[in-house]
Structure 1
């Protein structure tokens, strides 16, 4: 049997061997289900002001007592969480920082386990802790002293430890290309579409197309596999085609290597075709739900609706772009049957070989779920994954948008 885990007032992780492990499936605390060993790269987070819950000898959930707080794990790419930490939330306590917390337990040897499943085996090496990063950043700044975009990514890499910014200074994998795009969706503060609540900084300037081309083409020419608009702290890149369109065209004038990707909420269908004609390769559409009512409550769109997102997806397919639908997963919401049915309906419109990306939604889970109340009992994330695998077998499922293979 798995044992409960909690943190003490000093933040130390403590095993409570007298209590069985509990998890919150989005409807109620339950016994721990499927789990994997805590993966390398995961972060353990004590949940301040959230009392830990365990299961007594009868299997009933019980608070572990004063000064014992719940613990969550934030998982590295490749994993999707199956359940949230089980906790007691007193009235009036602040919202949790919106991160993608997964339930944590301990096995009979004391090894930590998480309620998660690995669905993406592709390696994603993280260079943020490399000893030579500071020197690489300095070298990159010296090579392009007048490029404001390089200076911004240097700050993001050094001060905010951004993975996609760090990649820019080693020509590794995927590099973010921020263009200070404005936002046209305003989710509640207790929700984060990027799975994390680590500090970020939006670019305080509007990069020129030339600055983007200088950075992005060098990244791809140096061996990087992908450059991406619309990542992390960015707003909506479809709102600034006057920058993104000539930037894409300029990159392709310099090099045909690598993949040019754009992540979007799909709010401006007319811009999708323009960017495709300029040389965009792949586009990912980010949705917390394919049901209009739920979409409105989570995304809080300004000036567009879910019908526009579907129109953008259709535009991308017509333009022969490689399409990914990025589902922002919240156990207890995403695995409701009506939500799943709409996701599968959308998936059925995608060409074979398109990507279905499952990205954990960062949230204060209990309070986020209260935004979309339902009497419906969730199916459970394991059943959700089974249905996706069987009913959307024509799609490639993973946790990251993959660059195109070029020959």
Structure 2
């Protein structure tokens, strides 16, 4: 398990004399063979600017690699859950890493390997399946068909500029497509990728929606996408705030669309803090709901989400209401090695899922600067179980709940359940 590192020009090397180290939260740890899988298709190797790679020699001594080198991590595609962070130390402790989900990477048996576990079928969301020519043709076709629709203009930038796969799906008319509706939010998430305060220590990598779309604009996007039994159109994207703040708009759009077609599924990606708004959206015909959370513990949740006028109890009430009305509810669980696998975190999450009626836990690698995040949240109270053991415990303690990586339709959920039971 050779150390992987990069020079200042971004060239990547392995070092045959030093073993790679990883991190669980802020603790340097050795990697185990069972934690490693070959680098998945669609993954990207990146250097960590302003860092030095940590390594270990044959005598077990741990130290930063001598010389002017940077640590290397992998950015995983959907379907894969990271188990450990890259092993590094910051050359400048005040420096902040860009908002990505860095995964430990090593050189082993003639190839790159990462500390990760496959939790879902990666093929549908493999970025290599997004054909650039077809995407450009899709963008041009829909923008020409709807020249006055500002959502298509906005989403074209997300698809072509940010290479957002959900936005790209909207133009390729496949899988889960995007229909952003909100420029405002009822939370001030520490790691928000679309809006940060002026004095933030890290810039947002995306630009947030700046207008309120009309019912017609929203309905056009929805109707263009909902053309197959397995298609999903989703409110709540990384380029917007909390979609349920625009509940009246969403409710009108759902009614308008369902008057014309019953094809596909309508989903919302939400923090679910506005319970009254969520109830109205559910009653209008919502079928899928993915609720974002980072913890089932109030102090941790509040430190990251900075909720405005709601609590975790509101979130749980929203989930319970939707589940009772037949909505397939998933958790968009933002996970971080050395934090999510704390004993108290695992226990609290299991209890939340049991009480609320969640059917799928989507393991989503948190995009954050590790040091900034660890300073923000409460310290650990119990043992660190390890990310692999955390997943195993979820599967054992929550037998009716699937572990995945992205939103599934009810039929897709049943197929995944059948595969995992065999």
Shorter chain as denominator, the TM-score bin is: over 0.9
Alignment match, 2:123: 123
Alignment match, 2:88: 87
Give SS of 1:263's match.
strand
Deviation at 1:35, TM superposition (A): 0.8
Closer, same or farther: CA 375–345 of 1 in aligned 2, 3 Å? closer
More divergent stretch after superposition (115-124 vs 340-349): 115-124
Q: 2-side partners of 1:383 and 1:166: how far apart?
A: 35
Alignment match, 2:282: 276
Query: Which sections of structure 2, spanning at least 5 residues, go unmatched?
Result: 196-202, 413-422
**Is contact 1:171–1:222 with CA below 8 Å preserved after alignment?**
no
Alignment match, 1:113: 113
Deviation at 1:363, TM superposition (A): 1.0
Alignment match, 2:3: 4
Deviation at 1:131, TM superposition (A): 2.2
**Is contact 2:46–2:72 with CA below 8 Å preserved after alignment?**
yes
**Is contact 1:259–1:404 with CA below 8 Å preserved after alignment?**
no
User: Would you say 1:356 and 2:357 are equivalent positions?
Assistant: no
Counterpart selection for 1:174 from 170, 173, 176: 176
User: Would you say 1:264 and 2:264 are equivalent positions?
Assistant: no
Deviation at 1:200, TM superposition (A): 2.2
Alignment match, 1:247: 253
**Is contact 1:3–1:108 with CA below 8 Å preserved after alignment?**
no
**Is contact 2:230–2:265 with CA below 8 Å preserved after alignment?**
no
Deviation at 1:404, TM superposition (A): 3.1
Deviation at 1:307, TM superposition (A): 1.4
Counterpart selection for 2:189 from 180, 184, 187: 187
**Is contact 2:180–2:209 with CA below 8 Å preserved after alignment?**
yes
Deviations 1:66-125 (A, max 9, x none): 31111111100100000001111234442101211000101042x111010001126314
Q: 2-side partners of 1:336 and 1:368: how far apart?
A: 15
Deviations 1:153-199 (A, max 9, x none): 1222222222111111221111110113411211225x6599xx984
Deviation at 1:373, TM superposition (A): 4.2
Counterpart selection for 1:374 from 371, 379, 400: 379
Q: 2-side partners of 1:30 and 1:138: how far apart?
A: 49
The 5 A counterparts of 1:10-89 are 10-33=9-32, 34-89=35-90
Give SS of 1:356's match.
strand
Alignment match, 1:383: 389
**Is contact 1:181–1:240 with CA below 8 Å preserved after alignment?**
no
Q: 2-side partners of 1:39 and 1:193: how far apart?
A: 27
> What's the C-alpha RMSD, in Å, of the aligned pairs?
2.2
**Is contact 1:177–1:227 with CA below 8 Å preserved after alignment?**
yes
More divergent stretch after superposition (92-101 vs 367-376): 367-376
Deviation at 1:403, TM superposition (A): 2.1
Deviations 1:325-349 (A, max 9, x none): 2211011110000000000001112
Q: 2-side partners of 1:254 and 1:149: how far apart?
A: 20
Alignment match, 1:347: 353
Deviations 1:321-380 (A, max 9, x none): 11112211011110000000000001112448x111111111112331222242544111
**Is contact 2:247–2:278 with CA below 8 Å preserved after alignment?**
no
Deviation at 1:281, TM superposition (A): 0.5
Give SS of 1:115's match.
strand
Deviation at 1:59, TM superposition (A): 2.1
Deviations 1:240-280 (A, max 9, x none): 11111111111111211111000110111111221112111
Give SS of 1:388's match.
helix
Q: 1-side partners of 2:214 and 2:376: how far apart?
A: 39
Closer, same or farther: CA 193–341 of 1 in aligned 2, 3 Å? farther
Give SS of 1:132's match.
helix
**Is contact 1:173–1:226 with CA below 8 Å preserved after alignment?**
yes
Alignment match, 2:328: 322
Q: 2-side partners of 1:229 and 1:302: how far apart?
A: 20
**Number of matched pairs:** 402
Query: Which sections of structure 1, spanning at least 5 residues, go unmatched?
Result: none
**TM-score with structure 2 length normalisation?**
0.90
Q: 2-side partners of 1:162 and 1:28: how far apart?
A: 33
